[in-house]
């Protein structure tokens, strides 16, 4: 069986993938972990894609994982591609879902407007409680603030590097939910066109949140791609 590494997104944790793991546990040797500052781990330093990618590299080497398929949800997809651009030998195949590639100062400013803890507690208290449970004992507000700072940094330093990414030979499947309210088709397809060995898949009847994704189609992409 092939090794599968599942990477969570911003504000996320590995616990969000229980349903997916249950569906594919007989097809893969599954690995997952929490990026620093997430899932109860302390916030050691500012959140950065490159540092998360270095953490993925360490995880792969520490666990002696070979020929890895990496499923990167949202921010996790960016992490996987960053590592593949520098250490292609560590990753055999990448599947991304709902990864936001198009960053600018203006985009970042719009994104961080949604990261106000007071507004979240007032308007969507169930989400506040989910964040509290997901990141305990770390204060979820601190995770929120660190994520906000990371997004502003992404706006100032757009992460897509056309020069290096155009040299990524790793097989990549770029997936986007058909009703994703955070990521556009245009920014997704732009990256698809940069990558030399990529395909684009649209996931039907799905939104951005992993809990609102058509997992049947994700499973098909993960499993069928390994059988080709």
Mean pLDDT on 56-78: 97
Separation CA 95–CA 6 (nearest Å): 10
pLDDT surpassing 60 at residue 227: no
Contact 3, 67 (CB under 8 A): yes
Going by C-alpha positions, the residue among 73, 74, 56 that lies closest to residue 65 is 56
pLDDT digits (tens, 9 = 90+) for 104-130: 999 999 999 999 999 999 999 999 999
pLDDT digits (tens, 9 = 90+) for 68-83: 999 999 999 999 999 9
Sorted by sequence, the CB contacts under 8 Å of residue 72 that are 6+ apart come out as 7, 78, 79, 80, 81, 94, 95, 96, 97, 99
Going by C-alpha positions, the residue among 37, 69, 62 that lies closest to residue 145 is 37
Going by C-alpha positions, the residue among 111, 114, 112 that lies closest to residue 128 is 114
**pLDDT attached to residue 184:** 96
Structural domains of the chain sorted by starting position, each given as residue range(s) with its CATH number in brackets: 2-100+159-227 (3.40.50.1820)
**pLDDT attached to residue 1:** 87
Task: Report the chain's mean pLDDT, rounded to a whole number.
Answer: 96
* Cis amide prior to 140 (ω within 30 degrees): no
Sorted by sequence, the CB contacts under 8 Å of residue 15 that are 6+ apart come out as 39, 134
pLDDT digits (tens, 9 = 90+) for 165-199: 999 999 999 999 999 999 999 999 999 999 999 99
Mean pLDDT on 200-225: 95
Mean pLDDT on 10-23: 97
pTM, whole model, 2 decimals? 0.96
Compute CA distances 202 → 121, 185, 221, whole Å: 33, 9, 11
Separation CA 99–CA 102 (nearest Å): 9
pLDDT surpassing 70 at residue 226: no
pLDDT surpassing 90 at residue 214: yes
The DSSP call for residue 88 is G
């Amino acid at each position: 069986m092939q090794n599968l590494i599942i990477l969570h997104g911003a504000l996320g944790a590995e616990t969000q993938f229980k349903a997916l793991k249950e569906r594919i546990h007989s097809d893969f040797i599954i690995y997952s972990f929490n990026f620093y500052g997430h899932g109860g781990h302390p916030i050691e330093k500012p959140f950065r894609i490159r540092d998360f990618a270095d953490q993925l590299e360490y995880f792969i080497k520490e666990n002696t994982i070979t020929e890895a398929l990496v499923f990167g949800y949202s921010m996790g997809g960016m992490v996987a591609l960053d590592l593949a651009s520098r250490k292609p030998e560590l990753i055999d195949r990448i599947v991304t879902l709902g990864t936001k590639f198009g960053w600018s100062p203006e985009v970042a400013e719009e994104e961080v407007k949604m990261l106000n803890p007071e507004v979240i507690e007032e308007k969507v208290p169930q989400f506040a409680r989910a964040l509290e449970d997901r990141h305990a004992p770390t204060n979820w507000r601190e995770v929120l603030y660190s994520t906000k700072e990371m997004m502003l940094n992404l706006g100032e330093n757009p992460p897509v590097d056309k020069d290096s990414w155009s040299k990524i030979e790793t097989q990549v499947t770029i997936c986007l939910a058909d009703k994703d309210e955070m990521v556009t088709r245009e920014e997704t397809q732009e990256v698809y066109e940069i990558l030399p060995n990529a395909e684009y898949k649209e996931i039907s009847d799905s939104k951005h949140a992993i809990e609102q994704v058509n997992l049947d189609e994700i499973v098909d992409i993960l499993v069928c791609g390994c059988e080709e």
